[in-house]
Chain A
Amino acid sequence: MADKQTELLQGTLDMLILKSLGLGPLHGLGISRRIEQVTRGTFHVKPGSLFPALHRMEEEGWLSSHWGESENNRRAKYYQLTKTGRRQLESETERWGRISLAIARALEAS
């Protein structure tokens, strides 16, 4: 449901969301656009996937949320990383590094 061109790997969406919030609080649409921007349009996250993920991660304690004003003066719900969320991002990044290295090696070997 989440892709335009590429299927998202299980667990990847969480990591992308955590990463996009690394620089500061964002609302749902902001997160969605940030992910598109940094992946150069490879991933397009639909609201049907985004919101369940945000709420789940909030329940996990990785994110916290608050209502705020958007750039064009609309009310919007902002998400930001908690301490646990930051740790989760670090461990996810490290794990992802290992996986992609391993896969890259596996594909190079022949």
Chain B
Amino acid sequence: MKSLMRFRSFFRNLARRAESDRDLDAEVRAHLDLLTDEKIREGLPSDQARRAALLELGGVEQVKEDVRSSRSGVWLEQFWQDVRYGARQLRRNPGFTALAGLVLTLAIGLNAAIFNVFNGLLLRPLDARDPQRLVSLYFSSQDEPGATAISYPQYLFCREQNSSFSSLSAFAGGRVLMTDAGSSGASAPEWLQAQLVSGNFFSLLGAMPAQGRAFLPEEDQTPGAHPVVVIAYDLWQSHFGGEPEAIGRTLTLNSLRYTIVGVAPRGFIGTDPEVPDVWIPLAMSANVQSGPPLFDDRGAGWLSLLARLKPGVTLDAAQAEVRVLAARYHAADPESVRKSSILASPASFLTPSEKSDTVPLAILLVAAVGLVLLIACANVANLQLARGLTRHKELGIRTALGGSRLRLVRQLLVESLLLSGLSGVAGLFLARAAADLMLALVHPSGARAFSLNLSPDWRVALYLAAISLGSGLVSGLLPALRVSRQDPLDAMREESGVAAWGRGSSLRSALVVGQVALSLFLLVAAGLLTRALGKARRVELGFDSQSVAVLHPDLRLHNYDTAGAVEFEHRLSERISALPGVRSVALARTVPLGTDFSQTSVFAEEAGQSADRQARIINFNVVTPEFFDTVGITVIHGRVFTPAEIASGAHVALISQTLAQKLWPSQEPIGKRLRRGPNSPLYEVVGVARDARNVYLWAAALPYLYLPMIPENLDQYSDPALLVCTAGDAAALAHALPGIVRQMDPAVTSKASTLADNLEFWLLPSQLGARLSATLGLLALLLAAVGLTSMTAFAVTQRTREIGIRIALGAAPVAVVSLLLRQTGRLVAIGGAIGLAAAAAASRLLVQFLYGLSALDGLAFAGTALFLAVVSMAACYLPARRAMRVDPVVALHHE
């Protein structure tokens, strides 16, 4: 009943505010009249009676305000008032609104963009029907952490035996060479991203093909029987003009003709942000993946599994079941049961180990852009403080009229929240555009762009709302508290400008110092990474990266065995040697600084169990004798392999300086023998090669082993690469090489690149880091410069009288400017010192990416500091110049 009454009056107050206000006014005035009558009856003359009555009442407006603020629903009404008043204030100061809004929009947009990218990659469920019910299955093993793929027999076992999933799908990635896109004309050969998928892949994701159909169950049964393909929407558009007739045409992929049965829906991302161009049934994998057939291999993991939970089955229940299934699968082998299992986790683009690698990076980035947002807030706070001074009269009058301090603070907060809210809305649009830009930036030119769903979802909206609210509070609260704490009398006095300036200035100075420090911190990181990049490009690699082209023929795809592949490549190298400009050609199992590793352990023959005479898990390479000349790795001691040793399959080896030092410290290594494991033959060391950065760019000296190019030393999974040293342009040569392979065997496809490309690949993280911290640092500096400019401009306005007096007393205009510059210069210097100290402390974390550059590199630190000093002085000088033009006569008449 009582609450009902309150409820009713709440709405009556809202609905009939004007009416009840009039009523209240009449009531208070009537009270005043009654009071006056009373005083007159007491014998006062009528004018004195009126004054006495007013005094007793305490002011009509104040009483009315007291009543209004005791009404129910008053907070809503006042809030609405504050919003309207705030909006009016923002409209009335377009300069402030535009500047503060721009600063906040940039910073909020940047934050939301970064979050949007990580949201798309890490948080968002897959773009599929009912994605919460999708589960990824991974193989987990104690031996190889991070090995996450599942073997084909194990996939079949899980598919037949499980009772948790309504369907279970398998897929694997691959690359195919498209040589003929149906009748779309004689298109140039093109590498496509392919995904091998089980027949139920599309139906499990709930993706309806845009044209044609998805795969039929029988197309995924017999290996090699159904060369059919579903193509991506973009490929359909670019190669078939989006015509429905594309269905039924053929594509030649890895020399096999495939029939197009369907087109994936527009914007379909599926299970991988590197969206495939074509989907091919798993049964066709022999045509896509090199190496021996994997269908019967119980141990070789190559499949990712995606499953849909049956209604009512929880993730935990499914996890428990697949664990049992894994144990049953390995029943014959107790060792495997103990060591390995299957993990079920909510479906996501990234495997759990990739996730744990990415999350810290995400947090780091979010923190970095958070710093920029903090700078932006400091800036807006600063602007508001400065503006608060010009508003002291307005606020003073409101205090005098009965506005409580709480009410004033609330009013100012609402104003700053209004501003940050508007910036948040603008930031939403920026977030989308910037996230697209970021994905494009993150990928090196030529590589495939990532596709993520970047249309903002509720997470982005929530994040955006939170940071907008947060920045509104952060940028508004301090100034509001500061500005509202003033004496109304003081405010009423005319010339309180100078005094007020002094009062707010310590807080404002602290904000400027903080901004300068933060932007310098980010810029130093950018400077260090950029300097390190330059250094890394000139770093002593120990081999020649500039004049070597690399060729990878995919012989395994085309029925060559190891011996056949080596024989083919020898013939190929003879043809390439005959090309003009070619100095030498070599075969190698792995390419220097490539992404493919081969590893082994080595033991000195006489070592026994002694730990210091062995090297566990070192990298090795299998090469022809020409390798050392071709890539320019010097053999400093002994000799390279002889043709006779290769022909006879002799067990000989070259070792790197570091390995020699490790196995036979201060002994003559030539003629010594090593073995690769307990049952391995003994290899005689015939030479020592200079250390080179051929594995990791940052590792100058690693133990390394070279074995001769004989089939025994090669594994069965990949073909040797050809390395070609040329006197001419390596990139141009690389472009021509695949054509020569096709001349020899039209079916064989190949990839070509240069060693310099490998170097660029290693530099990518630094490049990204440098680009990102430079962008953030410059943005931060821009914000700081805006802050400095507005602060100086404000100082000039506030001190016009003082400046006028100084000039009238004969101060040179230059002296006045330098007075102003000294003041801000001191703040910049303090902020700079803090920023440099913080950067020096943090730069040690970057040491891995610095390639030998000192973490305290003088040029990076001093250069950045100088740059900052110049920019900040310019930012101060522009408004300070105005002080020179102050006319003392006008200035003293001012106010």
Contacts and interface: CB of A to CB of B under 8 A. Distances in A.
Contact of A47 (B57, B70, B71): B57
With most chain B CB atoms within 10 A of its CB, the pick from A29, A56, A84 is: A29
A29 B69 CA distance: 21
B123 interface: no
A52 B66 CA distance: 6
Interface residues of A, number: 23
Interface stretch (B25-33, B114-122, B879-887): B25-33
Given A47-B63, A51-B66, A72-B37, A28 B31 contact: yes
A46 B63 CA distance: 10
A61 B24 CA distance: 18
A3 interface: no
Contacts of B71: 55-56, 59
B505 interface: no
A49 B6 CA distance: 20
Interface stretch (A9-17, A35-43, A74-82, A93-101): A74-82
B66 A48 contact: yes
A11 to B, nearest CB: 15
Contact of B67 (A55, A60, A61, A76): A55
Nearest to A65: B27
Nearest to B57: A47
B6 A59 contact: yes
Contacts, number: 70
Interface in A54-76: 55-56, 58-61, 70, 72, 74-76
A59 B28 contact: no
Contacts of A76: 30-31, 34
Contacts of A51: 24, 27-28, 31, 63, 66-67
A48 B9 CA distance: 21
A34 interface: no
Contacts of B5: 59-61
Contacts of A49: 66
A63 to B, nearest CB: 11
B1 to A, nearest CB: 8
Nearest to A59: B9
Contacts of B9: 58-59
B72 interface: yes
Contacts of A84: 1-2
A47 B34 CA distance: 12
A27 interface: yes
B40 to A, nearest CB: 10
Contacts of B30: 27, 74-77
Contacts of B713: none
Given A55-B71, A56-B70, A77 B6 contact: no
B27 A28 contact: yes
A61 B34 contact: no
Contacts of A74: 30, 33-34, 37
Contacts of B56: 46-47
Interface string B12-51: 0000000000011011101101110110000000000000
A51 B33 CA distance: 15
A55 B70 contact: yes
B28 A47 contact: yes
A1 to B, nearest CB: 9
Interface of A: 27-29, 46-49, 51-53, 55-56, 58-61, 70, 72, 74-77, 84
Given A51-B67, A55-B71, A60-B2, 19 more contacts: A29-B38, A46-B58, A47-B56, A48-B63, A49-B66, A51-B24, A51-B27, A51-B31, A51-B63, A55-B67, A56-B71, A59-B5, A59-B9, A59-B71, A61-B1, A74-B34, A76-B31, A77-B23, A84-B2
28 contacts: A27-B30, A28-B27, A28-B34, A29-B34, A47-B28, A47-B58, A47-B63, A48-B62, A48-B63, A51-B24, A51-B67, A52-B67, A53-B70, A55-B24, A55-B71, A56-B70, A60-B2, A60-B5, A60-B6, A61-B2, A61-B5, A70-B34, A72-B37, A74-B30, A75-B26, A77-B23, A77-B27, A77-B30
The 8 closest A-B pairs by CB, nearest first: A52-B70, A61-B5, A59-B9, A77-B27, A29-B34, A51-B67, A76-B30, A52-B66
Interface of B: 1-2, 5-6, 9, 23-24, 26-28, 30-31, 33-35, 37-38, 56-58, 62-63, 66-67, 69-72
